[in-house]
Amino acid sequence: MATDTISACTGSNLLQPISEIINLPLDQVNFVACQLCALLSAFCFRLYLHPSKTSPFVRHVVATLLGFYFALFCFGWYALHFLLQSGITYGIMILAGVEHMHKYCLVFALAYLSFCQITRVYVFDYGMYSADFTGPMMVITQKITSMAFEIHDGMARKEDQLNQSQKMLAIRRMPSLLEYFSYNCNFMGILAGPTCSYNDYIAFIEGKPFRHREQEKSARLQGKTRLNDPSPNMEVIRKLSTCFLSLLVFLSVCKVFPVERNVDDDFIATTPFYAQVVYLYLSMLTTRPKYYFVWTLADAINNAAGFGFNGYDSDGAPRWDLISNLRIMNIELATSFKMFLDNWNIQTAHWLKRVCYERCPYNPTAATFLLSAMWHGAYPGYYLTFLTGIVITLAARAPSGLFTVCIVSHGSADVTVANDTTTSSKRGS
């Protein structure tokens, strides 16, 4: 196959020479190249397709087409699963009606994701992460299910049945097919996410970031009028610097403590148990910068396009953390295990809380753990982790009603939690 063509399943071979020169797998090279192209596209998207210069229709079309091209470049025709899963669930939304579509969409989206994960792991590519198209599908599944529940909240439930978060995120009209695919498959989040609410995304596309998010009442701070469209450039530079440092640390130390050695037969047979535990900790420690790089770069891409603005802090500086997935300093300088967990895989924690914990009428903690296990994949270790976590969480629950929902991050043994003190929140639907 020529190097400038896209393989049927594993993406483009165009960058194969670069992959051989730097001695990294082609799928990783393709992923980073597409994310860098997405970053450049994001700047252009903000400058030349700004809401003041073009219509939401054009922004939706460009975001969707670019997103699918990047997916095709990385995953080949496996990327069709993204369209198929999204297309079928949209049909379910239209045909099932707002009363029950959220349940049907949740069942189908999870079943489709699980089918792809099982066949990838046990049928076609056991134990390998090459051409892992199920990673983006995990984020798309979050978006599909979140949207279905938010449409149900906005069109089938009464206002007094919703908590404050559900009122803010509720969708009051059925999205068009273009809006739906743009939300699920836009170039800013197609490869690495993070997930976001539909209302936040549409507000960004239409140039109305303040439409439903609560902002301070004062229009002025320290004598300066606030801008409705602050520049993200300094924030993007800061996050790209973090990406560079994370990648440098990962490439320099990951070969010293390779994760694969934890399951090496010779290592297990010749190393004392306490040394194995220490090595496990160190290998996990050196793996984290990889996730710092991927998630921070994804955040920077969204910010470069103008998405992610979350109001102003107390000093009047713009905040660009609306869809951030982690807080690195809080993780590395955590003074407790809880603090560490609260700052890892943040958007997935929000998704589990909003879709499952707040709504499940029976044993929500166990149901949330089970949903997290199903979403993460087909490896038995996930289920062992989450089923054990149910018992640990129930035993550790504080009298104040705090709960923790442990979530193993995709592809690693790290965990995170979502905390909630609103034990009086209404559950249902």
Residues carrying an active site annotation: 345, 376
| CB atoms closer than 10 angstroms to residue 99 | 12
d(CA 133, CA 125): 12
- C-alpha torsion 174→179→184→189, nearest 10: -140
d(CA 293, CA 239): 9
d(CA 172, CA 177): 16
Beta strands 403-404 and 11-12, pairing class: unpaired
d(CA 303, CA 72): 23
Is the CA virtual torsion 211, 217, 220, 221 positive or negative?
Answer: negative
Which residues, 6 or more positions from 361, have their beta carbon under 8 angstroms from its beta carbon? 427, 428
Q: Are 13 and 26 in contact (CB under 8 A)?
A: yes
Q: Are 328 and 340 in contact (CB under 8 A)?
A: no
| DSSP H or E segment with residue 216 | none
Q: Which residues pair with 408 in a beta bridge?
A: 415
Tokens of 266: 């010779």
Peptide bond just before 194 cis, omega within 30 deg: yes
Q: Are 149 and 90 in contact (CB under 8 A)?
A: no
CA neighbor of 301 nearest in space, from 194, 387, 385: 194
SS3 sequence of 153-214: HHHHCCHHHCCHHHHHHCCCCCCCHHHHHHHHHCCCCCCCCCCCCHHHHHHHHHCCCCCCCC
